[in-house]
Amino acid sequence: MRIDIITVEPDLLRSPFENSMMKRAIEKNIAEVHLHNLREYGFGNYRQIDDYQFGGGAGMVLMIEPIAKCIEKLQSERDYDEIIYMTPDAKTLNQTTANTLSLKENIIILTGHYKGVDQRVRDKFITKEISIGDYVLTGGELAAAVLCDAVIRLIPGVLGDETSALTDSFQDNLLSPPVYTRPSEYDGMKVPEVLLSGNFPKIEEWRSEQAYERTKEIRPDLLDE
Ligand code: ADE
């Protein structure tokens, strides 16, 4: 999978791809991530990329021309399956969306800043808009990193243990059950007996029950879906 990220803060985005799972995925050539500094497509000596909004109001808006130039250059080099805009005014990212995106070959992610992008960018280029939650970040960079992490870890071969992504919370619309490791007793707190029993059907049954109970308590909305 190739991901091209268009951003005004490329430095903010480097570290997530230089560490941990995403670094490994890139090293194994399973994922390719390219950062594009929008400013390089800006106007004039100052490389202008934003301007005041028509109709007045606080906050600058990213202009269409620099973004169009960058997207059209990328599109002249290959076909893209999705051009995604990270924005708080969109549907919230969930595991289903991450699963779907993990099957794509080439995607562009556009990150907003300031008051966002000129609406015509969204109308002309964007095929999918994603929010990572009902709160506003300073820019879409961290949101893009979250999206990439959620997607890349699902590509076969990225995680050492293939089953570990499949048993994540949300893969079956349930939260994960509790997990324990050594010691089997700490300060009087004992690991549930069943986990030490070696009876794997019973352990699976216990985990399913726990996942259901946790979901019912913390995220009952997931059970309605
Ligand atoms: N940009 C700013 N806030 C955001 C959010 N919550 N999700 C995605 N992109 C954003």
Q: pLDDT tens per residue, the chain (225 residues)? A: 999 999 999 999 999 999 999 999 999 999 999 999 999 999 999 999 999 999 999 999 999 999 999 999 999 999 999 999 999 999 999 999 999 999 999 999 999 987 899 999 999 999 999 999 999 999 999 999 999 999 999 999 999 875 677 778 777 889 999 999 999 999 999 999 999 999 999 999 999 999 999 999 999 999 987
pLDDT of residue 172: 85
Question: Relative to the CA of 133, which ligand 1 atom is closest?
Answer: 6
Q: CA 42, CA 39: separation in Å to the nearest integer?
A: 5
Instruction: Determine the 3-state secondary structure of 128 from DSSP.
Output: strand
Domains of the chain: 2-152 (3.40.1280.10), 169-224 (1.10.1270.20)
Binding site annotation covers 38? no
Q: Which residue of 6, 8, 128, 131 sits with most ligand 1 atoms within 8 Å of its CB, as the best mutation to test the pocket?
A: 131
How confident is the model at residue 60, as a pLDDT?
Answer: 95
Q: How far is the CA of 185 from the centre of ligand 1 (A)?
A: 42
Rg, the chain, Cα only: 21
* CA–centroid distance, residue 89 to ligand 1 (Å): 8
User: What are residue 31's phi and psi, to 5 degrees?
Assistant: -130, 145
| C-alpha dist (Å) from residue 216 to 166, 204, 222 | 21, 18, 8
Tell me what pLDDT residue 160 has: 80
Let me know: does 51 contact 44? Beta carbons within 8 Å.
Answer: no
For ligand 1, atom 5, which residue shows the shortest CA distance?
Answer: 88
Residue of the CA atom closest to atom 6 of ligand 1: 88
The answer to whether 132 is annotated as binding is yes
Q: How far is the CA of 40 from the centre of ligand 1 (A)?
A: 23
* Ligand 1 atom showing the smallest separation from residue 112 Cα: 1
E strand or H helix that includes residue 71? helix 64-77
CA of 43 to the centre of ligand 1 (A): 26
Question: Which pLDDT score, from 0 to 100, does residue 163 have?
Answer: 60
Nearest CA to ligand 1 atom 2: 137
* Separation of CA 91 and ligand 1 centre (Å): 11
Q: How many CA atoms lie within 13 A of 124 on its CB side?
A: 12
Whether the Cβ atoms of residue 60 and residue 51 lie closer than 8 Å to each other: yes
Which residues, judged by CB distance below 6 Å to any ligand atom, belong to the binding site of ligand 1? 86-88, 112, 131-133, 135-137, 140, 143
CA of 111 to the centre of ligand 1 (A): 9
Residue that has been written with the tokens 């259901």 in this structure = 212
Q: What is the pTM of this model?
A: 0.94
Integer Cα distance of 133 and 82 in angstroms: 20
Q: How many CB atoms are closer than 10 A to CB 177?
A: 20
Within 10 A of 27 (CB to CB), how many other CB atoms are there? 9
Q: How many CB atoms lie within 10 A of CB 148?
A: 24
Are 13 and 4 in contact by the 8 Å Cβ rule? The answer is no
Question: What pLDDT shows up at residue 191?
Answer: 98
